[in-house]
Protein backbone atom coordinates (compact mmCIF):
# COMPACT_ATOMS: atom_id res chain seq x y z
CA UNK A 1 0.00 0.00 0.00
CA UNK A 2 1.31 3.46 -0.90
CA UNK A 3 1.52 5.68 2.12
CA UNK A 4 0.20 9.20 1.61
CA UNK A 5 1.96 12.27 2.94
CA UNK A 6 0.56 15.65 3.79
CA UNK A 7 1.84 18.86 2.26
CA UNK A 8 3.22 19.76 5.69
CA UNK A 9 5.31 16.58 5.76
CA UNK A 10 6.61 17.38 2.29
CA UNK A 11 7.56 20.85 3.49
CA UNK A 12 9.56 19.32 6.31
CA UNK A 13 11.14 16.95 3.80
CA UNK A 14 12.35 19.68 1.43
CA UNK A 15 13.73 21.62 4.39
CA UNK A 16 15.53 18.53 5.72
CA UNK A 17 13.59 18.43 8.95
CA UNK A 18 12.24 14.90 8.89
CA UNK A 19 13.78 12.13 10.98
CA UNK A 20 15.92 9.77 8.84
CA UNK A 21 13.34 6.98 8.91
CA UNK A 22 10.50 9.19 7.68
CA UNK A 23 12.77 10.74 5.08
CA UNK A 24 13.38 7.29 3.56
CA UNK A 25 9.63 6.65 3.53
CA UNK A 26 9.01 9.88 1.62
CA UNK A 27 11.77 9.09 -0.86
CA UNK A 28 10.33 5.64 -1.51
CA UNK A 29 6.88 7.14 -2.03
CA UNK A 30 8.26 9.75 -4.45
CA UNK A 31 9.37 6.97 -6.79
CA UNK A 32 5.87 5.50 -7.07
CA UNK A 33 3.58 8.48 -6.60
CA UNK A 34 3.66 10.93 -9.52
CA UNK A 35 1.34 13.39 -7.78
CA UNK A 36 3.53 13.47 -4.70
CA UNK A 37 6.63 13.92 -6.89
CA UNK A 38 4.96 16.85 -8.68
CA UNK A 39 4.04 18.52 -5.38
CA UNK A 40 7.58 17.99 -4.15
CA UNK A 41 8.99 19.48 -7.37
CA UNK A 42 6.76 22.52 -6.86
CA UNK A 43 8.20 23.07 -3.42
CA UNK A 44 11.77 22.69 -4.67
CA UNK A 45 11.07 25.24 -7.41
CA UNK A 46 9.65 27.63 -4.84
CA UNK A 47 12.80 27.20 -2.77
CA UNK A 48 14.97 27.96 -5.78
CA UNK A 49 12.88 31.00 -6.52
CA UNK A 50 13.27 32.32 -2.96
CA UNK A 51 16.99 31.52 -2.97
CA UNK A 52 17.41 33.81 -5.96
CA UNK A 53 16.33 36.78 -3.84
CA UNK A 54 19.29 36.52 -1.50
CA UNK A 55 21.29 39.69 -1.39
CA UNK A 56 24.79 40.64 -0.30
CA UNK A 57 25.58 43.54 2.02
CA UNK A 58 28.28 46.01 1.01
CA UNK A 59 31.93 45.32 1.77
CA UNK A 60 31.90 48.41 3.98
CA UNK A 61 29.26 46.91 6.27
CA UNK A 62 31.15 43.62 6.46
CA UNK A 63 34.41 45.43 7.19
CA UNK A 64 32.78 47.53 9.94
CA UNK A 65 31.69 44.35 11.71
CA UNK A 66 35.15 42.79 11.46
CA UNK A 67 36.77 46.01 12.72
CA UNK A 68 34.37 46.13 15.65
CA UNK A 69 35.21 42.57 16.58
CA UNK A 70 38.95 43.28 16.52
CA UNK A 71 38.52 46.47 18.57
CA UNK A 72 36.34 44.69 21.09
CA UNK A 73 39.10 42.15 21.64
CA UNK A 74 41.66 44.89 22.36
CA UNK A 75 39.36 46.76 24.70
CA UNK A 76 38.48 43.77 26.85
Partner 1 sequence: MEPMQPSDSALISLYIAGKEEAFALLLERHKRRVFTTIMLIVKDTVVAEDLLQDTFIKAVHTMKSGRYNEEGKFSSYICRIAHNLAIDNFRRQKRNPQLNLDATGHAFNSLTYAEEGIDATLTRDETHARLRELIQELPAAQKEVLIMRHYGDMSFQEIADATGVSINTALGRMRYALINLRKKMTAQPDIYDQNLYPRDAAPVCVQRIAS
The residues binding partner 1 (CB under 8 A) are 7-8, 11-12, 15, 17, 34, 37-38, 41-43, 45-50, 52-58, 60-62, 64-66, 68-70, 72-73, 76
Nearer to partner 1, 1 or 75 (CB): 75
To partner 1, the closest distance from the beta carbon of 28 in angstroms equals 17
Q: Which contacts (CB < 8 Å, 24+ apart) does range 1-10 have?
A: 2/29, 2/32, 2/33, 3/29, 4/29, 4/33, 4/36, 5/29, 5/36, 7/39, 10/36, 10/39, 10/40, 10/43
To partner 1, the closest distance from the beta carbon of 1 in angstroms equals 24
Amino acid sequence: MIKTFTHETLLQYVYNELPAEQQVEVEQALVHDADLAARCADLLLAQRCLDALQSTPSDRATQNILNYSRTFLRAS
